[in-house]
Amino acid sequence: MRQLARMRRGAMTAALLAATLTGSLMTGCTAGGGAGGGTTDDGRGQTQEPSQGPTDGNHAPASGGSVLAVKIDNVRAARPQTGLDAADVVYAEQVEGGLSRLMAVYASKFPKVIGPVRSARESDLELLRQFDEPTLAFSGAQHKLLPLIGKAPLHAQPPGKVSGAFYRGTDKSAPHNLYLRPGQLMGSAPGSAALTTGFHFGAAPAGGSPETSRTVRFPAARFTFTWSGSRQRWLVSMDGTPTVTTEGTTVAPATVVVQYVKVHESQFHDFLGNNTPYTETVGSGTAKVLRDGRVFNAHWARPAATDGTEFTTTDGAPMNFAQGQVWVVFAKA
């Protein structure tokens, strides 16, 4: 009976998503040169346009019991981003054309605004299974992906479902100007207990090697993390440009994880025919963990999608992270 009820709920949710996203066409591609200069988007499809600014309309916030995950645009035209520094965890994944996209996860606190918000990918559904029915805020998705999102154990929140939660900014051109007011969507942050990532925080293990900078390359994007001794943080640069938010805050995580995973073709493509990569986050493999100006060799394991990811040292002890924001970059093994 429970399985039947979940199937019915998934079908109803998928239908509602399809209806919500059939409001008006949203621009789904931009042209640009160089790494990260432009993007193609399999979420090019339909989405109901949000308001252009603050509204006083009635709204029904989503459940605040679990984390908020927001898909964030990461091409040059989308930068600087807003609210990225407030995330507890930032995941960086490869998308079409070798470009990158971010998923920012919020639990401890919500900033006033997050964005620019972009579309979901199939890999996101597996990654988010580690949380208890998380809320996923995204701009849209490929039509064939909507049924999978509808059946997933999460609260799907594209524009149009909650009045006033999304709006179009005036600082950038579409589609790089969709922003989220998380307080309108969920009310208050659920608290750090909702972060069922499997991460351990504490004192650094013995060993490791001094590290001043680490660069991770995708086919058409790159991330560089440079250690700041004065701040005791890793300063983020993307495609050669320091990552600073619209508020002027430098994004500086305490821990950076380069997690080596399988990346392969999925069943989906963007409208130009580029395949959408699928990033496998269930399984096991190796990782590099950057903390306290050092790099540690590590092993990761996530036996099932509903599990968090356990990181251990080469001798099997827990690989503790430093307190603060964590970035996880999924690099191809």
pLDDT reading at 327 higher than 60: yes
Which two structure tokens, joined as six digits, stand for 317?
Answer: 């002890």
* H-helix or E-strand spanning residue 91: strand 89-94
Give 32's pLDDT tier (boundaries 50, 70, 90). very low
CA distance 309 to 312: 10
Checking if the pLDDT of 199 tops 90, the result is yes
pLDDT at 159 over 90: yes
Do 90 and 107 meet the contact criterion of CB atoms below 8 Å apart? no
Please give the average per-residue pLDDT across 218-239, as a whole number. 98
284: its two tokens = 């096991």
**Looking at residue 49, what is its pLDDT?**
57
Tell me how far apart the alpha carbons of residues 203 and 291 are, in angstroms, rounded to a whole number: 10
The per-residue pLDDT for 47 is 47
Measured CA to CA in angstroms, residue 73 lies from 31, 272, 324 at distances of 15, 19, 23
Sign (positive or negative) of CA dihedral 54, 56, 60, 64: positive
Per-residue pLDDT for 212 more than 80?
A: yes
Query: Tell me, what's the pLDDT at 17?
Result: 56
Whether the per-residue pLDDT at 86 is higher than 80: the answer is yes
List, for residues 33-83, the tens digit of each pLDDT value: 334 444 344 444 344 456 444 333 333 444 448 999 999 999 999 999 999
Q: CA-CA distance, 48 to 139, in Å (whole number)?
A: 9
**Residue 5: pLDDT over 50:** no
Distance CA 124, CA 18 (A): 18
Band the pLDDT of 90: cuts 50, 70, 90: very high
Q: Which domains are seen in the chain, by residue range?
A: 2-23+62-193 (3.50.90.10), 209-332 (3.50.90.10)
DSSP 323: S
Got the DSSP string for 17-69?
HHHHTTSEE---EE---STTS-EE-TT-SEE---BSS-------PPP-SS-EE
Q: What is the pLDDT of residue 52?
A: 47
- H or E element, residue 10: helix 2-20
pLDDT value of residue 196: 96
